[in-house]
Structure 1
Amino acid sequence: MTDQFDWDTGALLDRSGPGRVLFTTRRYPIFYLQITKCGCTYVRNLLYYLDHDAMHPKAARIHAHDEDFVKADLIPREIIKGAPGLFAVIRDPVDRFLSLYFDKIANQQNQFDAGMRRRVSKAAGLDLEHDDLATHRENCLKTLAWFSRNLDTKNAGKPNPHWQRQSVRLARIEGLGARLLTLDGLSAQLAQTLGPVVPDFARKAAAVTTRNTSKKRFTKAEIMTPEIAETVRAIYEKDAALYQKISAEWAVTSTKEG
């Protein structure tokens, strides 16, 4: 579903553009590139709230309701490029991997992602019957080894967006000047980014309470080993470097404003 108009003039549009990968809203010139496991459940709920002044009736399963959202596929490139409301959210690759592993691969109670779990478990040779720390650590390494093969050689089919590199997704909007936010600083960074675009943004953002928080069997401190951390950063090298760069830039911004 797409609203076919120019944000500035209201004129109907008849051409496709780079906005086909961006979510937008009916009310505000916001353009969001979704990257899975990077706060997208909250952001999608926020976009819905901004258009409807109410929470989505299926907030926890909002990704199953694309029909309730607007894509910017007919918005011209010149309007999207450099727009104040153009953004994406990135995440520390280690945290992103652990969230994926515990939420969708190791969590056998999650029936929504049973197909993904079967695919990864079979291909990587995981042991999902035992729930001890050593088994989960071994599963993490096996999962990462298979992710690496799948990403670089397309072994066992097309990579799933949940483990695709963030940099690959960001390449879809290269040159448009999107502002990158970090998940761990999302609330404040969203306020700085969308506050000038959306009147009364703070109140509206606070009204959106739904987030996808994975229940981890072990904490990051408990499960993490140098080998797991190094493996994640080797596979997602560009993502790790970008996350460090953007985090440092936001830290400078926060210091100046503080």
Structure 2
Amino acid sequence: MSEKFTQRLITIRSHPIRYLFIPKCGCTYVKNLIWKLHTGSQFQNPLRIHVVDKDLPRASDFGLTSAHIRNEDYAFTVLRNPVDRFYSLYTDKVVGPGHKMYVPLRSILADKYGLDVSASSLTAHTKNCSILIEWIAENLQSEKDIAKEAHWTPQAYRKNLMWQFDLKLLLVKDLERQLSILLEPIIPNIEDMLKNLERNQSSKDFRREEVVTPKLRKRINEVFSDDRKLFGQVRDQWKAKPHMSSREIPRYREIKW
């Protein structure tokens, strides 16, 4: 496989861990773990771990091919319920502090589509989310206003990479436990290490369930329909075997489209 694909996988020198990161899918948490394994210490500003992406080794640095990685036990990615991922984008990059260090998404939505940047009521946030999902639907089709960006492109856009490397599939909602299951064979103290890691949790005064109405949820799942299929199958496999071993973690080859 050409280097442009293998360089997408973050790795470390001390362990055969290969990680494909997808924005808004627990990547702050996982990158902080990889940094600690790579350097032996915590990153000084855990929520800003993404600024050192270039300092983390890639699978391409070791001359690994897709054939090598497909036979490895610790090559993985992390998936998320598409509704939760969409809501995290909204609370972090649109109405949260994350918009200050991001593409001009918030200003475009406010200036051209009426998004209320000072929304304080649940109704206002629901309206904002409706504006956002309709804009994403158009942007994914035509790159309306700005180029498509990794924080809102579907997780399924990476399915060619998941297939090429036959990655193991973990879920954000149970990530600490699932990472422990995955890595315990090569990192015996992984549970203790994971307990002290930083998560990038958006601060908010409102719960997703209060903002995302059934109609809005349906629309999000329509726009991210492939993500819903992918997430649903992986979730069902984890539920079917709650006490699985590292070797039993579902791989992409088990996904049926």
Q: Report the TM-score, using the length of structure 1 for normalisation.
A: 0.87
Q: Following the alignment from structure 1 to structure 2, what is the Cα–Cα distance between the partners of residues 86 and 212?
A: 23
Residue 52 of structure 1 deviates from its aligned partner by 1.8
Whichever residue aligns with residue 176 of structure 1, its letter is F
Structure 2 equivalent of residue 173 of structure 1: 162
Whichever residue aligns with residue 37 of structure 2, its letter is L
Residue 199 of structure 1 deviates from its aligned partner by 3.9
| Counterpart mapping for 1:188-199 below 5 A | 188-199=177-188
Residue 196 of structure 1 deviates from its aligned partner by 1.8
Q: State the Cα deviation string for residues 181-228 of structure 1 (Å, max 9, x = none).
A: 011111111111112233432233234x21100112310121121111
Contact 1:84 1:194 in 2 (8 A): no
Structure 1 equivalent of residue 250 of structure 2: none
Structure 2 equivalent of residue 27 of structure 1: 14
Structure 1 stretches lacking a partner, 5+ long? 1-14
Structure 2 equivalent of residue 130 of structure 1: 119
Q: CA 1:220–1:130 in structure 2 vs 1: closer, same or farther (change >3 Å)?
A: closer
Q: Following the alignment from structure 2 to structure 1, what is the Cα–Cα distance between the partners of residues 229 and 113?
A: 27
Q: Following the alignment from structure 1 to structure 2, what is the Cα–Cα distance between the partners of residues 16 and 256?
A: 33
Q: Following the alignment from structure 1 to structure 2, what is the Cα–Cα distance between the partners of residues 28 and 247?
A: 27
Whichever residue aligns with residue 150 of structure 1, its letter is N
Q: CA 1:56–1:193 in structure 2 vs 1: closer, same or farther (change >3 Å)?
A: same
Q: Following the alignment from structure 1 to structure 2, what is the Cα–Cα distance between the partners of residues 48 and 255?
A: 28
Q: Which of 77, 81, 95 is residue 106 of structure 1 equivalent to? A: 95
The RMSD of aligned alpha carbons is 2.0
Q: Is it true that 1:121 corresponds to 2:110 in the alignment?
A: yes
| Counterpart mapping for 1:78-117 below 5 A | 78-107=67-96, 111-113=100-102, 115-117=104-106
Structure 2 stretches lacking a partner, 5+ long? 246-257
Q: State the Cα deviation string for residues 4-48 of structure 1 (Å, max 9, x = none).
A: xxxxxxxxxxx7363111111121111101011110000000001
Q: State the Cα deviation string for residues 60-113 of structure 1 (Å, max 9, x = none).
A: 101112232111123222221131111000000111111110111012585223
Contact 1:37 1:100 in 2 (8 A): yes
- Greater share of residues in helix: 2
Q: Following the alignment from structure 1 to structure 2, what is the Cα–Cα distance between the partners of residues 254 and 175?
A: 27
Q: Is it true that 1:214 corresponds to 2:205 in the alignment?
A: no
Q: Following the alignment from structure 1 to structure 2, what is the Cα–Cα distance between the partners of residues 152 and 229?
A: 20
Q: Following the alignment from structure 2 to structure 1, what is the Cα–Cα distance between the partners of residues 102 and 5?
A: 29
Q: Following the alignment from structure 1 to structure 2, what is the Cα–Cα distance between the partners of residues 108 and 123?
A: 21
Identity fraction in percent: 30
Q: Is it true that 1:57 corresponds to 2:26 in the alignment?
A: no
Q: Following the alignment from structure 2 to structure 1, what is the Cα–Cα distance between the partners of residues 208 and 50?
A: 26
Q: Is it true that 1:235 corresponds to 2:223 in the alignment?
A: yes
Q: Following the alignment from structure 1 to structure 2, what is the Cα–Cα distance between the partners of residues 173 and 189?
A: 18
Choose 211-220 or 101-110, whichever is displaced more.
Answer: 101-110
Contact 1:102 1:217 in 2 (8 A): no
Contact 1:133 1:223 in 2 (8 A): yes
Q: Is it true that 1:71 corresponds to 2:27 in the alignment?
A: no
Q: Which of 116, 139, 142 is residue 131 of structure 2 equivalent to? A: 142
Structure 2 equivalent of residue 3 of structure 1: none
Q: Following the alignment from structure 1 to structure 2, what is the Cα–Cα distance between the partners of residues 141 and 233?
A: 13
Aligned residues: 242
Structure 1 equivalent of residue 32 of structure 2: 45
Structure 1 equivalent of residue 253 of structure 2: none
Q: Following the alignment from structure 1 to structure 2, what is the Cα–Cα distance between the partners of residues 108 and 45?
A: 20
